Every structure is written in structure tokens, then in C-alpha cells.
Structure 1
């Protein structure tokens, strides 16, 4: 059976009530270890956060606790979230140890307590934590929008006998496609609107 493409029509995107910012940590968006085009990603995520705040939407940042010696090991400079948290608006940072932001965290509980049924997801890495969190959100019957220009990852290195290098932009696009036709793909972060829960 041929897979139907996810919706891509900006005009069809009703506003969402929450923004999940996945693993936007210093190790992944600053310095030599940053994902390709990290500055552009930061601009898009900053814009999403600003507009979500202005609209009274619920904003949650996820922060990955990496293994000892990893770039996002807790307590290291790379582990810190790269974008400010507005606690006065009730924003929270949830720490996690696996790709899925719902597993072992209070994320589902917090969203439901806030009355959220629809959300946008952005951050890193497209095929790992962003994808796993989006998939569980869909399984939990949340409406999910994924802004195409507000998630990112690294190139996949060439592997002899398997493939040449796979560019990061291609990896991100495949990650979107693999989520199936329930997720909404917004062409631009600016296409995503927000409202209060």
C-alpha cells in the first residue's frame, strides 16, 4: 500500500496550545559539535517560543541527561539548555534519559493538567528524540505539528558497502516522513500559530 504524504498546507494549520522544545542544549547548537545550520535552527526555535509565550500557550523544554563522558552529561556546559526558560509564565524543563520525552517524565501529566490537546514539537535530533516524542504524542491522541525548519540533526557518515554520507537535511526529511500521515508538517516555523489551552 502506498503511503499518503503528511499534510503540508500552511493554511490548514489551526493554532496549537503548547510548544515542546526538545534537547536544545548547548552541546548540540553551539561550538564545534553543533548540528549543521544551528544558528538558523536557534532563530526558528526562538521565534516559536516568543510567539507561544505571547499567545499564552504552554511551553515545555526537554533536557537530555547523557551518559558520563557524553557532550550532554549532566552538570557539564554542553548539558545546559541553550534558550532561556520563563518560569514566571509557568514554563518547565523536564529532564529525560531516553529519546522519548514522555517516557519516565511528567510530560503527559503536565500537558493534560494544562488542558493541552494540540502541540508543536521542535528541536534535536530529528530522527531520535524529536521523532520518538512526536510518535508517542500521536499515540496519546495529541494533535502534532512538526515545523520543517525548526528541527535538525547531524549528517550520517558514509559507511562502506551501505551508503555514502547522508546529509542532515535528508535525515530530517526522512524522519518527518516516517512519522506517517497523522503528523502535520508545517513548511515554516512561522506557519505555526499558538493559542491558550
Structure 2
């Protein structure tokens, strides 16, 4: 696999990976995102933590415990936090300009929720011409409850797979996060 210059970590916030509100596969997700972040840092790739600012009363309301990023952020010119209020990490944020300014051409997307923020961010990255890699075991979501008269409940793993499928063959879905390789950003004067 051709190396990736940036890792986009979508909404891996305390409310979604710990306690009663954690997604069903939270431990797996944290394990995979921890590994991806460590390897991206080690290689000199850009690490972008997207942090959702939920509405008042939401589990991810700004400046609450649930809003906090799960992974510590390193003070480095190649690691940034971008706050967002929409599913799409590009909408109303500096993500697009940050990637363009650093010469990023290929990125990996991980985090949550598969069918919302992960998919929306990956879709916009594709539309902007980026090569997008989506490691199957490094994104997650919740089960969809049954809807009487419409459908039975849908397990989270199925929801995540459908989110990948809906991105069509433009996104490179790979089975394992461990198979993502990173490379340093193009030379810049830091």
C-alpha cells in the first residue's frame, strides 16, 4: 500500500468510548486508533483530531467530560485539533486549508460515527480529490434500534459496513488498520 501523509481521527471523544454511552466496539476502536496515531506520529505524518461540538445537553456538549478527546494530543506542528459542529469535518472548519497548505494528497480516516461523521468527512475528501483509505476495523457506531413496521434492529457492525459500501469504490476500504502505512509530510520549514 502506498503510504499516507495524514490521519484524520474523527470524534474519538470520551462520551462515545467510555461508560454507559460507549459504542459497542469501543475497546477495539480505541486499540486501533491508538495504534494508528502512534504510527502516524512516528512517521511524521499529520494527525488531525476532529472534535465535535454537540448542542447544549448532548453527550458531547463543549467543555463537558464527554466532549473531551479520548486520545492525548501531542504538542507538535504535525498534530492539530479541529473543532466542528457538522458531520462533515470540512464544513465550516480549517481542515481543507490545513491539508492543502501541508501538501497532503492521501489520508486515512478513522473514528466515529461510521455512517455520519466518518462517512461525511471521507466523502468530502474524495470530492476534493484526496486518496482516502478507510480501515474497516478503525471506525465504529451504535446499533440502530428496531423501527416497528419498518425493520428489525441493525447491529453496529452492519451499520459500519453499509457506511463503507455507500462510499462506493472511490474509497479504499482495507480490512485492518495495521496495514495502513504512513509517510512524513512533504518537507516544510517547521
Q: Which residue of structure 2 lines up, in the alignment, with residue 138 of structure 1?
A: 126
State the TM-score, normalizing by the size of structure 1. 0.93
- SS of equivalent to 1:70: coil
Q: Which runs of 5+ in 1 are unaligned?
A: 1-12
CA distance in 2, matches of 1:37, 1:168: 8
Q: Which residue of structure 2 lines up, in the alignment, with residue 175 of structure 1?
A: 163
Counterpart contact for 2:34–2:71, Cα < 8 Å:
yes
Q: Which residue of structure 1 lines up, in the alignment, with residue 112 of structure 2?
A: 124
Off by >6 Å, runs of 4+ in structure 1: none
Q: Which runs of 5+ in 2 are unaligned?
A: 186-190
State the aligned residue count: 185
State the TM-score, normalizing by the size of structure 2. 0.96
**1:38 paired residue among 11, 26, 39:** 26
Shift of 1:106: 0.3
Deviation string 1:22-52 (CA, Å, 9 cap, x unpaired) is 0000000010000012011100000000000
CA distance in 2, matches of 1:100, 1:75: 21
CA distance in 1, matches of 2:136, 2:32: 10
Aligned pairs for 1:1-197 within 5 A: 13-197=1-185
